Amino acid sequence: MKKVLLGIVGLGAVLTGCGTDLALVDPVKNLNVTGYSTNYQLTTDVRDQNGGTIAAGSDVICDNLSTRVAVDVSWTGGLQQLAIQFKGARTGAAKTVVTDDYGPVDYRGAGSYEYTLMPNMAPQSAKSGLGAQAIVVNPITNVNVKGYTYVRVQGYDVAGNASAISESVTQIPVVDCL
């Protein structure tokens, strides 16, 4: 028993000698998607394939155009990196985007992270370095609704430990902008 204890103490001394302080790792917890916005919004109500209504003013992803998506998140702990995933509501197809390391660990507890989806990159449900910048909204009138996607996020602390995955409560409509 004494040898095991000495081994553990010795391992701690080695890690400390290498500059690793395990006490400084503050895991990312309580990660949540608190909102999202895109650079395209509907100017009128639109019907989807299932007969549902997407209200005027709703943010949408234009699948046939480049679309900037800002994802608002909150968390506790030290966030070093964030992975954002867009997941089709019915298909389950996913596109994962990993942000660059922030440099210093982010303890702010909230932020907005932006990504540009290129044409035909948004996973959807078909029936048959990021930093926050102001998104300029483009009003759109005529669209063809293709499906919906969820936003999912996962945070990583300085040691690379992953948080639980958090998913947006609402889906983002994916449309072709005509």
Classify burial at 53, counting beta carbons within 10 Å of its beta carbon; exposed 0-12, middle 13-18, buried 19 or more.
Answer: exposed
Give the pLDDT confidence score for residue 58 in this predicted structure. 96
Give the span between the Cα atoms of 88 and 63, in whole angstroms.
13
Q: In one letter, which amino acid is 101?
A: D
| Mean pLDDT value of segment 60-85 | 94
Find, among 103, 38, 46, the residue nearest to 69 by Cα: 38
List the beta bridge partners of residue 150.
87
- Averaged pLDDT, 20-46: 85
Note the helical H segments in 39-175: none
pLDDT at 138: 86
Per residue in 137-172, pLDDT tens? 888 888 999 999 999 999 999 999 999 999 999 999
Split at pLDDT 50, 70, 90, the class of 7 is very low
Confirm if 67 and 39 have CB atoms less than 8 A apart.
yes
- Distance CA(11)–CA(6), nearest Å, equals 8
For domain 26-177, say whether CATH 2.60.40.4070 is its number: yes
Task: Please indicate, yes or no, whether the overall pTM of this predicted structure exceeds 0.85.
Answer: no
pLDDT grade for 24, boundaries at 50, 70 and 90: low
Q: What is the pLDDT of residue 19?
A: 45
